Amino acid sequence: MSGEPGPVTFNCYQVMPGEGEGTPEEGMNTYSVVVLLPGGEVKHQIVWAGAPEDIGDAIRVPPGSRVIMTEMKSPTVWDSEAMEEEEAMEAAPAP
């Protein structure tokens, strides 16, 4: 690791479900899902679902993976890296 530790700058995003995935007003909840793959790779995704069980039934991970899910009270996300263009189409920047 080179250089001295420094402050982190965050970008703020309002994450909304894609077309056909429902809205918070329709009883959907926002979940932060982290998948720890057997090789050490980490995947993260924001998911909308009516209940945690719905996500467990919908996702597929390799054997030996660990999945950690947190219910989010707000669809606002702070990220230290700018979103890629493809992801930006699925989430609108927060005001």
Q: What residue spans define the domains of the chain?
A: 11-93
CB 48 within 8 A of CB 40: no
Element (H, E) at 58: helix 52-58
Total-model pTM: 0.65
DSSP state of 19: T
Q: For position 95, what pLDDT does the model report?
A: 42
Q: Are 57 and 31 in contact (CB under 8 A)?
A: no
The pLDDT tens digits of the residues spanning 55-85 come to 887 788 999 999 999 999 888 888 888 766 5
pLDDT digits (tens, 9 = 90+) for 5-59: 989 999 998 887 765 554 555 778 889 999 999 999 999 988 888 888 888 877 8
Single-letter amino acid, residue 65: S
19: tokens are 């077309």
